[in-house]
């Protein structure tokens, strides 16, 4: 009995219906499945209303300047750095009773 199993007399993994599925065919089926799905087209430009604040049209120079500042990549970094600096200042500040202060608080106030 042990001789049969050791000599390869038993059913192997590759023979019969219970063998492993080839990874190439399953990968190909997955690719076909995902490629057949329609993909949504995303627009990179944001749609803006024709008027802002009831008076500023899209061609208004003030509105165009504000839009260009907000879309400027370093503007986002500046805002995040300002928030971080505010968090640090709030963490360093030590409130004292009756408007007492120390040197650190005086520097933060000024």
pLDDT in tens, 57-104: 999 999 999 999 999 999 999 999 999 999 999 888 877 777 777 777
Q: For residue range 1-48, what is the model confidence (pLDDT) as tens digits?
A: 555 555 555 455 555 555 565 666 777 777 776 766 565 665 556 689
Helical (H) or strand (E) element with 90:
helix 73-92
pTM: 0.44
- Taking alpha carbons only, the member of 87, 88, 105 closest to residue 96 is 105
Q: Kindly report the backbone phi and psi dihedral angles of residue 57, in degrees, each rounded to the nearest multiple of 5, phi listed first.
A: -85, 175
Mean pLDDT over residues 49-63, rounded?
93
């Amino acid at each position: 009995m042990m001789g049969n199993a050791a000599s390869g007399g038993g059913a192997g993994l590759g023979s019969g219906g219970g063998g492993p599925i080839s990874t190439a065919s399953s990968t190909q089926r997955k690719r076909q499945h995902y490629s057949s799905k329609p993909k949504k087209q995303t627009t990179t430009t944001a749609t803006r209303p024709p008027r802002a604040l009831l008076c500023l049209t899209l061609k208004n120079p003030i509105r165009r300047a504000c839009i260009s500042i907000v879309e400027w990549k370093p503007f986002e970094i500046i805002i995040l750095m300002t928030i971080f600096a505010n968090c640090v200042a709030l963490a360093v500040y030590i409130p004292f009773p009756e408007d007492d202060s120390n040197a650190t608080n005086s520097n933060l106030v000024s």
